[in-house]
Chain A
Amino acid sequence: MLIKRRSPIKSSEITPESVYVNRRRFLQGLAGTTALALTEGASAIPAYSLDKDQPQYPGPDWLQGALRDSVRNEAFSSDEKPAPYGNIITHNNFYEFGLGKQDPSRKAQGFKTDPWKVEIAGEVNKPGVYNLEDLLRPHALEERIYRLRCVEAWSMVIPWMGFPLGDLLKRFEPTSKAKYVEFTTLQDPEQMPGQRSFFSTLAWPYVEGLRMDEAMHPLTLLAVGLYGNALPPQNGAPFRLVVPWKYGFKSIKSIVKIRLVEDMPGTSWNRTASGEYGFYANVNPAVDHPRWSQATERRLPSSLFSPNIIDTQPFNGYADEVAGLYSGMDLQQWF
């Protein structure tokens, strides 16, 4: 049974991504300017005044235009208040940079994220190794405010900037054998102290995966920005996945390889503890993690003496959009 709050996105409100982007491009062309040409469902990104005490991440020169031209996709954005920038960039599970939540923000600052190469491999007609700059060039960026629900039972609202993964995959022409997408994070122990640890339960590099229909879903985002800035290294710069209806560990960071495959790929957490972390990992209050409940979550930031405990929503509140992907599946079994 679904006990839900108002779902912020109705499927009827969703403009197909290609239409959305094309229309915007067209209008921009007409105007002959890069000034914001807004269509319905899109609005200008507010000029965030980020706390001057916080580090700023302007990103490489080649990204500036795309960041500047991006608009907010209202139809795909939650109307909840985003967590403060300072919280989002200092509370990260990025075990390549340490175990503590604040470790990545301390240890990833020297992480080299430009130039960056991404390999597209497997069941596609156009495999190859591409510069991130070339990979991103055809895609207009948009801002989306998504809920992020960690499997550890905390959550945050985050304004990402990116574009749909499906739009990228289409360009490389998946073959009929492409049933799953496998993503791989950079492996570079020199830069990533966590990969040098002797005591890690995770095998490196970190690998995640999606079923093809999940990957093509318009909510599935490739993010390159945050709060109007480029993505900070601790948040998975320069290029990461964001799948808002799944637990956070599915949203793999600092991607260097995207491989389309026929069989379900082995994924990192699933290999470490298959009884605790499933391949699907859809947010589901009815299926507990064996060691803790998933029925509620603490929305951060939260005050100490009145913790912000809220009920967890099926598919993290995106059930209207994605529940159909799993019709007929036993979600207790395929957790």
Chain B
Amino acid sequence: MVLTGIRATALKPYVLWWLVFLLPLLPLAWLFEQAWSMNLGADPAQAIVKFTGLWTLRLLWITLAVTPLRRIFHWGWLQRYRRMLGLYTLFYAMVHLLAFATFILGWRPDLLLRELSERPYIVVGSLAFLLLIPLGITSTRGMQRRLGARWVKLHRLVYVIALLAMVHFIWQIRSSFGDQLLYGVILAALLGYRIWMRRNSLKRKSR
């Protein structure tokens, strides 16, 4: 109901484009403001890394929600903004990683090596980031055309990335699993929807 109120088709496409372009920047702007005014507590490094990590996860989940929302509510217009949301996921992942390497490890080579080789959740998180890069590079219309059917296959990597990101998140559970449960349930719904759709279409074909 909320979104029918907006009546996406009634909005000029460029207004919508600017909205989708600017909204994901708000968390980062907020973070800058908080850091600038020394509001992040005694350990701002940890706060920044945690915040950008959480928003990477959120944007990835939002990107994955485009297809189900489009199909269920017949919001064809959403499809146009999937690339931007995906690129924002990559962007936040990059900020997250840079913040970790800079604010937590101070770019000390020995520590970087240690974290990347010995810490299971960091290995998994880094792998998820590495897999995001080719998706970012091939996100242009030109690449999409050139790769054709292979593009679709390649971009199915996003499901692997989401699972890796989830493992990265679960592996950091200490005293509470509330957030992990919430994000896990949403991811299960997003991936479950796709499995369900696929099974339906296979049934239809076999009939």
Contact = CB atoms under 8 A, between A and B. Distances in A.
Given A288-B118, A293-B114, A304-B103, A91 B175 contact: no
Contact of A90 (B41, B48, B106, B181): B41
Contacts of B48: 304
26 contacts: A87-B41, A87-B42, A90-B41, A99-B176, A101-B46, A197-B178, A198-B178, A200-B176, A201-B173, A201-B177, A272-B175, A288-B118, A291-B119, A291-B121, A291-B171, A291-B172, A293-B118, A293-B119, A295-B114, A296-B111, A302-B43, A304-B35, A304-B48, A304-B103, A306-B106, A307-B104
A102 interface: yes
Interface residues of A, number: 34
B181 A199 contact: yes
A300 interface: yes
B42 A304 contact: no
B105 interface: yes
Interface in B75-95: none
Interface in A283-303: 288, 291-293, 295-296, 298, 300-302
B174 interface: yes
Nearest to B178: A199
Nearest to B41: A102
B170 to A, nearest CB: 11
A289 B15 CA distance: 50
Interface residues of B, number: 31
Nearest to A88: B42
Interface in B39-75: 41-48
Given A293-B115, A293-B119, A309-B105, 9 more contacts: A91-B41, A99-B175, A101-B43, A199-B178, A291-B120, A292-B119, A304-B48, A307-B105, A309-B111
B114 A83 contact: no
B175 A95 contact: yes
Given A291-B121, A293-B119, A309-B108, A83 B42 contact: yes
B140 interface: no
B43 A91 contact: yes
Nearest to B172: A291
Contacts of B44: 304
Contact of B42 (A101, A202, A296): A101
B65 to A, nearest CB: 23
Contacts of A95: 175-176
Nearest to B106: A307
Given A154-B43, A199-B176, A291-B121, A298 B181 contact: no
Interface string A11-39: 00000000000000000000000000000
A302 B45 contact: yes
B102 interface: yes
Task: Give the top 6 A-B pairs by smallest Cβ distance, nearest first.
Answer: A199-B178, A91-B42, A87-B42, A307-B106, A95-B175, A199-B176
A48 interface: no
Contacts of B104: 298, 307
Contacts of A305: 102-103
A266 B147 CA distance: 59
A95 B172 CA distance: 16
Contacts of B119: 291-293
Contacts of B45: 298, 302, 304, 307
Contacts of A154: 43, 46
